Structure 1
Amino acid sequence: MGAGHDHGAGGHAHNHAAGANAKMLGWALALTGTYLVAEVIGAFVFNSLALLSDAAHMLTDVAALVIALLAIRIGQRAADDRRTFGYKRFEILAAAFNAMLLFAVAIYVVVEAVQRFREPEPVQSIGMLIVAAIGLAVNLISMRLLTGGKETSLNVKGAYLEVWADMIGSVGVIIGALAIRFTGWTWVDPVVAVLIGLWVLPRTWVLLRDTINVLLEGVPGGIKLAELRAAITATPGVAGVHDLHVWSMTTEEVSCTAHVTLAEGADSDSVRKAVAGTLDERFGIEHTTIQTEGPTEACEDDEHLHP
C-alpha cells in the first residue's frame, strides 16, 4: 500500500504568473542571444580573447534563460504513456550540455591565452570597449526584466543571478579595454580572459556536478539520508524502514519511496500519513510513496535496490 502527495501547477493564478515569467524570460533571451552573436563576431574582428571569454560567460546566461523557459514550457507538459514522469528532465539535460560546452570553451581560451603570452597580438581596444559597454547595457536591461519574477520562481532567480554574474565579466572587459587603450599593454587582454574563465569555471563545475547527481538519481543536495531515515524511524508506529530511496526529477522536485515496517498494533493509514507529513515538513519532500508492512512481512534484504 502507498501514500502520495500530488501537487499540480496551481490554478489560474499560477498559470498567469508562469505566463508573465515566460514573457519576461523571452525578452531577456532575445536581448542576450542577439548580443552573444555580436560579441563572438566582435571578439574575432577586434582580436580580443577577453571578449571571447566573456562571450562564453554570456553563453551561460543564454543557457540559463533557455533552461528557465524549458522548465515553464516543456516541463509543464503532462506525462503520457511513453514518458510517465513527463518532460521535466529537459531542464537537467540542457544544463548538463551547457556545462560541458563551457568547459570546452574554457580550455580553448586558456590554451589561446598561453599562446598570446608568448607571442602578443594587437588588440583593437576601442572596438573591444564598445562591444563590452553594449554588453553591460544588455545585462542591466535583462536584470530589470527579470527582477519581477525572481522572488516567485527559482528558475527565474537562477537566470537573474547568471545575468548579474555576467555583468561582472562585462565590467572586467571594459577595464581591460581601457588599460590597453591608455597603456598599450596587449597582454592585459589574455589576463582578463583567464580571470573571467576562473570566475566562470567554479560555477560551471557546480552546475555539472548537480546535473550529474540528478541524472544518476542521487540524493539531492541538502538532504542527509541518515537524518531522513532517523526521522522516519522516529515516527510513532514505525518499527523500521528499508528500501529507502530519495531522488529528484529536477533540481527542485524531490521524491521519496520507502518500505515501512509497522510496530505491533499500529494503523497503516495513520502511519503513512504521519511519515509523509514528516518528510514534507522537515525535508520539503512532497512527492512520496510509502509502503507499509506488518512485522512478519518485512523484507529479508534491507539493502535491496530498485532500478
Structure 2
Amino acid sequence: MSHSHHHPAPAEYGKAFALGVALNLIYVAVEAGYGFAIGSLALLSDAGHNLSDVVGLLLAWGGHTLASVAPSPRRTYGWRGASVLAALGNALLLLAAIGAIAWEAVHRLAEPAEIVGLPVVVVASIGVVINTATALLFWSGRQHDLNVRGAFLHMAADAGVSVGVVLAGLGIYATGWTWIDPATSLVIAAVIFFSTWSLLLASVNLAIQGVPEGIDPTEVHDYLASLDGVAAVHDLHIWAMSTSETALTAHLVRPTLTDEDEFLHRTADALHDRFGIEHTTLQIERGTGSCHLNDPGRV
C-alpha cells in the first residue's frame, strides 16, 4: 500500500478578506443611510444584500483560516472541511437574502413609495467601484478553491447588481415611475439566485463527499485500469478534503508485483498532474482473493 500527497503552497487570502470586509462595511453604512433617507428599496435591498455578503466574506475567511490548521490525532484531516461548510453557509445565506428582497419588492409594487432617483445613482455608482475592486481581490483563486470562488461570485454579482440600481435610478429620475425601483429589486433577486445556484450545488456535493466538479470519475477509473500490469480497479473513492484539495483511494489488482514502489509513486504523480488529486492512497493486490466489494468508478 502506498500513500502519496502533494502540498502546494496554500494561497493566502487573509489580507484580501480583511480589505473586502472593511470596504463593504463602509459601503453598507453609506448605502443604507441614503436608502432610509430617500426611501429607496433598491438601495436598502442592495445594502441588505451587501451586509449579508460581509457575513459571507467573514464565513469564507473563517473557513479559509481553519483549513490551514494542522491535523491532530482526533482530526486527522485538520479543519480542512471548514472551507466546505463556509461555502455551503454562504449559499444558504444568499438564498435567505433573496427571499427577503423579493418579499419586500412585491410589497412595494402594491404600495409604491416616492423616491428621488439621482441619489440612488450616485450611491450605487460607488457600489460598482467597491464591489468590482473586492471581486478582483479573489480573481486569482476563483478557479482552484470553491470557497474563494464563492467570495468572488458574490462580489462580481454585487457589481452587476449595483449597475442595475444605477439604471433604475436613472429611469426614475427621467420618468418619475417609482415602480422601476421594486422591479429592479426583483431583478436583483434573480441575479443573486442564478449566481448562487451553482455555488449551492457544488458545496452540497462536496459536503456529502461527492466527486468534486471538474473530475470525471469514469476517466480516473479508466486511467488506473489502463496502467501497466493492472488487471482490475475496485473500491475507487474520490472526495474533497477541502474546497481546494482532493483525495483518492483505490485498490488495484496487479498479479505481477514488479517495480511496485516506482509504479505507485509514478501513478500518484500522474493523478496529481492529470486530475489535480493531491492525496492518493493506493492498495496493490495480487488478485488471488475475492476482495471486490464495489466499483464506484463504474457507476
Fold in common (TM above 0.5): yes
- The alpha carbon displacement at 1:169 in A equals 1.4
Q: Are the aligned partners of 1:240 and 1:262 in contact in 2 as well (CA < 8 Å)? A: yes
Correspondence 1:76-95 to 2 at 5 A: 76-95=68-87
- Contact map agreement 1:279 1:285 (CA 8 A) in 2: yes
SS in 2 for 1:292: strand
Q: Deviations over 1:18-54 (max 9, x none)?
A: 3xx4224312221112322443454444332222332
Structure 2 residue 172 is the aligned partner of structure 1 residue 180:
yes
Maintained 8 Å contact 1:56/1:102: no
Change in Cα spacing, 1:84 to 1:131, as seen in structure 2 (3 Å) is: same
Q: What secondary structure, in the 3-state scheme, does the structure 2 residue paired with 1:195 have?
A: helix
- Please give the alpha-carbon distance, in whole angstroms, between the structure 1 residues aligned to 2:222 and 2:269: 15
Relative distance call for 1:141 and 1:101 in structure 2 (3 A) is closer
Using a 3 Å threshold, how does the CA distance of structure 1 residues 188 and 237 change in structure 2: closer, same or farther?
Answer: same
Cα deviations by residue, 1:216-246 (Å, 9 ceiling, x for unpaired): 0001111121111110000112111111100
Give the SS at the match of 1:296: coil
1:50–1:77 distance in 2 versus 1, CA, 3 Å: same
Q: Which runs of 5+ in 1 are unaligned?
A: none
Partner of 1:138: 130
Bigger CA drift: 70-79 or 217-226?
70-79
Farther off after superposition, 123-132 or 189-198: 123-132
From 231, 234, 239, give the equivalent of 1:239.
231
Identical amino acids, percent of aligned pairs: 38
**SS of residue matched to 1:4:** strand
Who is 2:140 aligned against?
A: 151
Q: Distance in 2 between matches of 1:39 and 1:89?
A: 35
CA distance in 2, matches of 1:160, 1:98: 12
CA drift of 1:157 comes to 6.5
In structure 1, the residue matched to 2:291 is 299
- The one-letter code sitting in structure 1 at the alignment partner of 2:112 is P
Q: Which is worse superposed, 156-165 or 117-126?
A: 156-165
Do structure 1's residue 2 and structure 2's residue 37 form an aligned pair? no
Match among 187, 212, 215 for residue 220 of structure 1: 212
Aligned-partner residue type, residue 286 of structure 1:
E
Cross-structure match for 1:211: 203
CA distance in 2, matches of 1:259, 1:54: 52
Instruction: Kindly provide the amino acid, as one letter, of the partner of residue 160 in structure 2.
Output: I
**3-state SS of paired residue (1:238):** coil
Q: Give the distance between the partners of 1:303 and 1:232, measured in 2 at CA.
A: 12
Moved more, 239-248 or 108-117: 108-117
CA 1:199/1:244 → structure 2, altered by over 3 Å: closer, same or farther?
Answer: same
How many residues end up aligned between the 2 structures? 293
Letter in 2 for 1:196: I
Relative to structure 1, the CA distance from residue 212 to residue 256 in structure 2 (aligned partners, 3 Å threshold; closer, same or farther) is same
Q: TM-score, normalised by structure 1?
A: 0.84
* Structure 1 CA distance for aligned equivalents of residues 266 and 7 of structure 2: 18
Deviates more, 1:119-128 or 1:218-227: 119-128
* Alignment RMSD: 2.7
- Distance in 1 (CA, whole Å) between partners of 2:97 and 2:15 is 30
Compared with structure 1, are the counterparts of its residues 27 and 71 closer, same or farther at alpha carbon in structure 2 (3 Å cutoff)?
same
| Contact 1:231/1:278 (<8 A) preserved | no
**8 Å contact from structure 1 (residues 241, 258) kept in 2:** yes
Indicate how the Cα distance of structure 1 residues 78 and 201 shifts in structure 2: closer, same or farther if over 3 A, else same.
same
Contact between 1:5 and 1:286, CA under 8 Å: does it hold in 2? yes
Q: Give 1:81 deviation, angstroms.
A: 2.6
Unaligned 5+ runs, structure 2: none
SS in 1 for 2:112: coil
Counting only pairs closer than 5 Å after superposition, residues 282-297 of structure 1 correspond to structure 2 as 282-297=274-289
> Which residue, out of 67, 85, 96, partners 1:104?
96
The answer as to 2:182 corresponding to 1:190 is yes
Does 1:166 pair with 2:155?
A: no
Matches within 5 A, 1:9-88: 10=9, 18=12, 21-59=13-51, 61-63=53-55, 65-88=57-80
Q: Is the 8 A contact 2:60 2:86 kept in 1?
A: no
